[in-house]
Amino acid sequence: MNKKKYAVDEASQELIKKAKDDRIETVWDRKKIMKTPCGFGEKGLCCRICSMGPCRISPVTGKGAQKGLCGATADVIVSRNYARMVAAGTAAHSDHGRSIAHVLHMASKDGNYTVKDEEKLIEIADRWGLETEDKNIYDLTHEVAEYALNEYGKPFGNLTLPTFVPDKRKKIWENLGITPRAIDREVVTVMHSTHIGCTADAESMIKMAMRTSLADGYGGSIMGTDISDVLFGTPTVRETEANLGVLDEKYVNIIVHGHEPSLSEMIVLAADDPELLKLAKEVGAEGINIAGMCCTANEVMMRHGVKIAGNFLQQELAVATGAVEAVIVDVQCIFPALSDLTKAYHTKLITTSPKAKISGAIHREFDERTAYESAKSIIKEAILNFESRDKEKIFIPKAKAHAIVGFSYKTILNRLDKVVNSNIDPVGTIKPLADCITSGVLRGAAGVVGCNNPKQTHDQSIIEIIKSLIKKDVIVVATGCAAQAAAKAGLMSKDARKLAGKGLATVCDLVDIPPVLHMGSCVDNTRILNLVGELAKFLNLDISDLPVVGVAPEWMSEKAVAIGTYVVSSGIDTWLGIMPPVIGSREVMDILTNKIEDMVGARFYFEEDPVKAANQMIERIEEKRKILYKKLKNQNLAVEEATVAQN
Ligand code: XCC
Ligand code: SF4
């Protein structure tokens, strides 16, 4: 290994070495071959939008082309590229949400998919103004599903925003003209406006990107979260383990990888089928071990405690253990490299979605109408593959960590009730959290989200940022691959309380939570929006008044750009640990890191150094606290600062 380590955890390090010994190629090898990334692409200055180009321009050096053939400037090209990233990310989250809505439409009393959380169904129906009284639950289910699907393409009006959005925030969006309309419409509008010969004004383009991102955060992603909760249950606290050490040599190991829980839920269910367990024994295994990867892991872990094999950059390493019978995938974040890689071992790569076929993989289209049987036959294929293992090639690292997970919005409220004096305080409200934050026992909250990226040492920035924050009494909520990094590092265990500052540690003890709360997959960032939205409403403030920050230390996907944009547009300052391709335009840089604050009360920070980023976040949180006090005092709320200065 050269100067920079590839990964921080032992399991990954051991397997990177094994991959090398096995002479297989991983992302880090390909990164070496790739050498320096294209400078134009990196700055956002390459335009492939029409075939007069591609045009690549050099405004930074001032030499060579300064405009594209059509006359597009750096500001135009960069802003268009940025908006397209947001549109693609929004499309991915929202289409995932749509699939789940289709599954909801299919749900029936004796079907493969049923309603697990009726209360949540009714909550959604109420939010959308649907009549719920005296209605057959499955009639209501179909109505809710139809309403959801209509939100994607309704011809008139705006998206039906969730009730947790504070009125002040809605006003801000309205005044800026960025209130989202139908979800698909926003994506299409960006694709249209970025076509040659349309929008050529960076600010207008970025505003369109913001509106589209809001259609993701308050539309498509919410569908993903809320409807999954209806179908599969709203997550509650569970214990699990994380890292590649969860694979077990004696078992048939199956990795579920991708995003949509409709597949993984069935796989988890079917893995308990007596017929399959019998078959597993017959081939010489002790049982079936399902482990998750990426956001699919988060979905099944939150609802069943299924173990986490690893996050994004560990997908190849899992295969390199030589102990995985099948990697079952659906959509998003699946390396095409798995196709060749699995062939170097006995592992089967099984694709299941027509939206993500991979050449060289086995395609077993997952049919939701016969979901259970589909899942069973896929698992069967994995079991029968157990005997093809090459014992010589097996190495499973020991490393794994214990984690307490499953913190949905409701679960957090229920936990907080433990500290409530029910004679005075209403239970089931956000008041205890508001008290912790306004009193200063907790200095603030941070959402640590997003992916892995080989531009950074795997997981390192995520872990460092989280540790710095909790030490300063900032409670961390995490989703996606960042949450898995935290789980693997033991930051979601009881023990992690030792790493927290005094205030946070006290809260953790009282409420019995770890200092880092796993809130789910990336569509579940909506759970965080829900939390901050309700908190702001409770305090009669706007989200931008809260001492709350967001950070994606090692992001890589377009989805992360969409998330970052809706988080900032919601009024939450957001740090990106990987520079997005916008540096080629002075105007776009200025909008995203400065001007946008005048529009929505929050801005982007681009900082690759995790220590610097964490310090900036803490500083910002303290600044926000001062504003918070002023505003609360103006409302004549009696607030007492517990610890005035950060010590
Ligand atoms: Fe993918 Fe969602 Fe990123 Fe992980 S965090 S690499 S998007 S799996 Ni969402
Ligand atoms: Fe070049 Fe303009 Fe075509 Fe882009 S749209 S490729 S800048 S001519």
- pLDDT tens for residues 313-355? 999 999 999 999 999 999 999 999 999 999 999 999 999 999 9
Instruction: Return the domain boundaries, the chain.
Output: 68-232, 244-393, 411-644
Query: What is the pLDDT averaged over residues 418-441?
Result: 79
Whose Cα sits closest to atom 1 in ligand 1? 333
Say how many Å lie between the CA of residue 64 and the centre of ligand 2.
16
DSSP 7: B
**Cβ(449)–Cβ(525) below 8 Å:** yes
Nearest atom, ligand 1, residue 482 CA: 5
Listed in order, strand segments (DSSP E) in 263-368 are 288-293, 307-310, 326-329, 348-351, 362-363
Confidence of residue 4 (pLDDT cuts 50, 70, 90): confident
Nearest CA to ligand 1 atom 5: 451
Compute the average pLDDT of residues 60-73. Answer: 93
Choosing from 58, 69, 199 the residue with most ligand 2 atoms within 8 A of its CB, the one to mutate for a pocket test is 69
| Fold exhibited by the domain 411-644 | Rossmann fold (3.40.50)
pLDDT computed for residue 372 by the predictor:
96
- Between the alpha carbon of residue 213 and those of residues 222, 359, 567, 570, 617, the distances in Å are 12, 32, 9, 10, 23
pLDDT score of 158 more than 60: yes
- Asked if pLDDT for residue 645 goes beyond 50, the answer is no
Per the structure block, which two tokens stand in for 475?
A: 């409670």
- Cis peptide upstream of residue 54 (ω within 30 degrees of 0): yes
Confidence of residue 428 (pLDDT cuts 50, 70, 90): confident
Q: What 8-state DSSP symbol labels residue 23?
A: T
> How far, in Å, CA of 140 to CA of 118, rounded?
10
Q: How confident is the model at residue 423 (pLDDT cuts 50, 70, 90)?
A: low
CA 371 centroid distance within chain: 25
Q: How far is the CA of 271 from the centre of ligand 2 (A)?
A: 52
Residue nearest to atom 7 of ligand 2 (CA): 68
Q: 517: which residues sit within 8 A by CB, 6+ positions away?
A: 407, 412, 475, 476, 477, 478, 492
Whether the domain at 244-393 and the domain at 411-644 fall into the same CATH topology:
yes
Is 231:113 a contact under the CB 8 Å cutoff? Answer: yes
565 pLDDT more than 90: yes
Predicted local distance difference test score (pLDDT) of residue 643: 41
Distance 257 CA to ligand 1 centre (A): 11
Ligand with minimal distance to 578 CA: 1
519: enclosing H helix or E strand: strand 516-520
Atom of ligand 1 at shortest range from CA of 556: 3
The class (CATH top level) of 68-232 is mainly alpha
Mean pLDDT of 157-173: 97
Q: What is the CA(87)–ligand 1 centre distance, in A?
A: 16
Closest to 514 measured CA to CA, from 498, 503, 502: 498
How far apart (Å, rounded) are the C-alpha atoms in residues 7 and 178? 40
Which residue is associated with the tokens 């220590």?
Answer: 611
Q: Is it the case that residue 418 has pLDDT exceeding 90?
A: no
84 C-alpha vs ligand 2 centroid, how far in Å? 15
pLDDT value at 495 more than 50: yes
Q: DSSP characters for 383-431?
A: HHTGGG--GGG-------EEEEE---HHHHHHHHGGGS-TTTSPTTSSH
Give distance in angstroms: CA of 201 to centre of ligand 1. 31
CA 92 / ligand 1 centre spacing (Å): 11
Q: Which residues pair with 288 in a beta bridge?
A: 252
Confidence of residue 225 (pLDDT cuts 50, 70, 90): very high
Query: Residue 3: what pLDDT?
Result: 55
Entry pTM: 0.96
Range name among 108-117, 505-514, 574-583, 630-639 with the lowest pLDDT average: 630-639
Ligand closest to 77 (CA) is 2
Could you tell me the pLDDT band of residue 60, with boundaries at 50, 70 and 90? confident
Tell me how far the alpha carbon of residue 600 lies from the centroid of ligand 1, in angstroms: 26
Res 644: pLDDT: 38
* Protein residue with least CA distance to atom 6, ligand 2: 53
Pocket of ligand 2 (CB under 6 A): 47-50, 52-55, 68-70, 72, 77, 196
Q: How far apart are CA 257 and CA 297, in angstroms?
A: 7
What whole-number distance in Å separates Cα of residue 283 and Cα of residue 325? 12
Atom of ligand 1 at shortest range from CA of 311: 4
Share of residues in the chain with pLDDT > 70 (%): 96
Range scoring the smallest mean pLDDT among 77-86, 205-214, 399-408, 422-431: 422-431
- Say yes or no to pLDDT of 382 above 80: yes
Domain 244-393 coded CATH 3.40.50.2030 = yes
Say what the pLDDT of residue 28 is: 97
Q: Are 344 and 26 in contact (CB under 8 A)?
A: no
CA 196 to ligand 2: nearest atom: 5
